[in-house]
Amino acid sequence: MPCVNVGKENSGDIELYYEDHGSGDAIVLIHGYPLSGASWEKQMPVLLASGHRVITYDRRGFGKSSQPTAGYNYDTFAEDLHKLVKHLNLRNFALVGFSMGGGEVARYLGKYGSEGVSKAVFVSSVPPFLLKTPDNPEGVDGSVFEGMQKAVVADRYVFFTEFFKNFYNTDVLLGKRVSEQAVQASWNIAAGASAAASLACVPTWHEDFREDLKRIDVPTLVIHGDADRILPISASGNRTAKLIKGARLVVVKNGPHCITWTHADEVNPELVNFLGKGGAKQAASDPRKEAVA
């Protein structure tokens, strides 16, 4: 099982599980809460067919990765990603983050810069800043996140059941764009996540990424559904696109939070068009192909 060591907790190693398929220019797909790299199921074959090397990994605490009780903050998540990038010696790679994964994209570029990074994509993502503060009146009241944490502590399995209703907008889309079985499969993955991670990740959603976004200097695509109940487009996608110079915003009509599943037929062509063909000739002609330090 391919893993990269990103640290230790007492006597145990902290390892991230990853999958690395295909060839050509690399794309790193970063999943959302509370899922795993397997959640890119509908994007993988399309990106591979377009000639890319496609890499997915499970965030610490989720999927097949280690489940430590510490390190659930975006500086550590970005450091974990950086260690994976170095481990695989990636060059000329794109970063694609869904939901919580968009935070890794923002913090990685804000902290490590864009050397070696060709493009960035934010899909239904948490940036720029979800918490309501005096200088961020568009944000969400902190009590909302506190309530979610209490629900996770009380019974995280019940919490996940309710969470996925809004994740997929099941009252509207169940039996049309998402099946009961797909929702159950997501719940199963969530149930297998670390209890510590399930709780500790909630307050990370209101991290302030505004300065990170301002530092992004690579071509950027923002994709968001206009019916997203988890991260409303007005609080996230629209603002993210405005903060990144030259970013392109694609709005998926009637799209819920998980447009990567329910609206894959609309999301996938946008990804392929933006990321281009991943052939070796294109990579050789691209001047931005220095290895990440």
Task: Characterise 22 by phi-psi region: left (phi > 0), alpha (psi -120 to 50), beta (else).
Answer: left
A 10 A CB-CB count for 253 gives 9
Structural domains in the chain, CATH included, are 3-285 (3.40.50.1820)
- Using alpha carbons, select from 271, 283, 288 the residue that is nearest to residue 117: 288
DSSP conformation letters of 28-79: EEE--TT--GGGGTTTHHHHHHTT-EEEEEPPTTSTTS---SS--SHHHHHH
Q: Which two tokens stand for residue 29?
A: 């797909």
Please identify every residue annotated as catalytic. 99, 228, 257
Angle at 196 between CA 69 and CA 152, to 5 degrees: 165
Angle at 178 between CA 197 and CA 228, to 5 degrees: 60
DSSP conformation letters of 112-163: H-STTEEEEEEES---S--B-BTTBTTSB-HHHHHHHHHHHHHHHHHHHHHH
- 140-195, pLDDT tens digit by residue? 899 999 999 999 999 999 999 999 999 999 999 999 999 999 999 999 999 999 99
| pLDDT at residue 278 in the model | 75
- 86-131, pLDDT tens digit by residue? 999 999 999 999 999 999 999 999 999 999 999 999 999 999 999 9
Mean pLDDT on 134-139? 91
- 72-91, pLDDT tens digit by residue? 999 999 999 999 999 999 99
Is the Cβ–Cβ distance between 127 and 95 less than 8 Å? no
* Residue 138 pLDDT grade (very low, low, confident, very high; cuts 50, 70, 90): confident
| pLDDT at residue 289 in the model | 35
The span from the CA of 52 to the CA of 100, in Å, is 23
Is the Cβ–Cβ distance between 17 and 84 less than 8 Å? no
- 18-39, pLDDT tens digit by residue? 999 999 999 999 999 999 999 9
Is the confidence at residue 217, as pLDDT, over 70? yes
- 258-289, pLDDT tens digit by residue? 999 999 999 999 999 999 987 643 333 343 33
Can you give the pTM of this predicted structure?
0.94
| pLDDT at residue 282 in the model | 39
% pLDDT > 70, the chain:
95
